[in-house]
Structure formats: structure tokens, C-alpha cells
Amino acid sequence: MSAEPDRRQRLLQMAAGAVFLAVAAVLVLIVVNSSGSGTDANIEGAAEVDRELAGIPQHGMVLGDPKAPVRLIEFGDLQCPTCAGFAKEILPPIIESRVKNGEARIDFRNLTIIGDESTPAGAAALAAGEQSRGWNYLELFYRNQGEENSGYVTDEFMRAVAKAAGVKNLAKWNQDRQRLTSKVEQTTAEARELGYEATPSFAVEGPATRGSLQLLGTPETTGALEEAIEAAQ
């Protein structure tokens, strides 16, 4: 006669133990995931990029004074290792000597050629540009670039780059990047109409070009870009 209450008591004790374990497990999961020691910590070069771009105005994906007489357009793919090389080696002297003094501005546009992950990556950069952190995003993405189409361009990775780039309103960034996917496709189509199939590709316009774009292809040196800027002035 006492077996039934005993069994009931034992089952309820086990259930209470299971509830305790479940609460503990959920708390541990939440604490581990909120510690911030995950993807954010893996983004490198934020301080270096901040130094490089300090004091330079950014409007959308345009770096430099919007009234600068020369506009250098870069068509790039965030997954492209050559673009990353340009961002680290070729462009910094241009930014230092031509953009900071107001001679030129650089207008980044997406030309996606590497693969499917290039489009969300490019849209995420444009969304950062909506908060005037587009170039910080670009430079940081390049510095933390993974292997092409390897699946590293996750939402977490892009969010961590945005956070490290100083994007203040991440919720807005998240909404904007969905909306701006079509813009990435649009600039890619425009670049192809210019005959560009490789990244990075450049074009320049200024007083000397009389409003028309001068196509530069992929200059191999900083000097070649500087000459093009001077010629366009």
C-alpha cells in the first residue's frame, strides 16, 4: 500500500532535481554567451584602423572631404585578398597624402566576384557606412579576412567587425544591411558595365577629366594611383 506514495515521492524528487539542473544549465549557457569573450575579441586591428582614419570625414562609403576635387572610385570585394593587400599596402599612403589634405576622396563600391558571401559582407559595410563607419568596417574586415567562401562570413563575424568598427547602433545596422543587399548588386552591375571583372578596380574623375570617369584598372603601385589623381586635378 505504501509503494504508490513512495514512488510518487521519488519521481517528484527526481523532477525537482531535473528542474534544478535545467535552470543551472540555462544560466551557464547565458553567462558563457554574454561574457563577450567570443567573436568580438577575435577582431584585430581596430586601434590601427582608428589611427589611420582619425579625423577624416566619412559620408556613406566616401572617405574624405565630399568637396574634394578628385574622386577616386574603388570597386572591391570584401572577400578579395588582393583588395585586402591594397587596403594594407597601397591605399594608406594615398589616404595620408591625398585624402587627409582634401585633394581627393575615395568612394568604395562593391563589385562582388568571389562568391555568395561577398554580397552580405558588402551590404554590411554599406550599413556601417550609414553610420559613418563604413571605411572602418572595410579596413577591419580586410584585416580579419578569412579564406574565400569558407563560411567565415557569418552574422556573428560581421557583427563583431561592426562592433569593433565603432558602429553605434547595431540594431539599425542589422536592419540596414538587409535592405542594402540590392545596392551591392546594383554597383556590381555598374562596374561590369564599365568592363570591370576583377577587384580591386579603380576609376578617377576630377576637373581634368571634365566629369567623365577615367578607368584605371588595377594599378599595381601607390605611385600609379598618385599619378592618376594628379592627372585628374
Partner 1 sequence: MKTTSFPSEWTLRRAIAFAAALGIGVATYIAIAESGGGSPVCIAGGHGCETVAKSSYSHLAGVNIAVFGIVGYVLLLAGAFFVNDEARFGGFVVALGGFGYSVFLTYVELFKIEATCQWCLASAALMTVLFLLCATRLIGYAGTGERVRPRERRA
Binding-site ranges for partner 1 (CB under 8 A)? 4-9, 11-12, 14-15, 18-19, 22-23, 25-26, 29-30, 33-34, 154-156, 170-171, 174-175, 178
- Smallest gap from Cβ 21 to partner 1, in A, equals 9
| The residue type at 110 | N
CB atoms within 10 A of CB 209: 17
Q: What CA–CA distance (Å, rounded) separates 48 from 82?
A: 20
Q: What CA–CA distance (Å, rounded) separates 15 from 9?
A: 10
Angle 145-150-156 from CA coordinates, rounded to 5°: 65
- Smallest gap from Cβ 127 to partner 1, in A, equals 12
Q: Note whether 117 and 48 are within 8 A (CB).
A: no
Cβ proximity to partner 1, 15 vs 189, nearer residue? 15
- Smallest gap from Cβ 217 to partner 1, in A, equals 34
Cβ proximity to partner 1, 117 vs 139, nearer residue? 117
Cβ proximity to partner 1, 16 vs 208, nearer residue? 16
Q: What CA–CA distance (Å, rounded) separates 165 from 152?
A: 18
Cβ proximity to partner 1, 116 vs 227, nearer residue? 116
Cβ proximity to partner 1, 36 vs 55, nearer residue? 36
- Smallest gap from Cβ 30 to partner 1, in A, equals 5
Q: What CA–CA distance (Å, rounded) separates 33 from 72?
A: 42
Q: Note whether 52 and 89 are within 8 A (CB).
A: no
- Smallest gap from Cβ 177 to partner 1, in A, equals 9
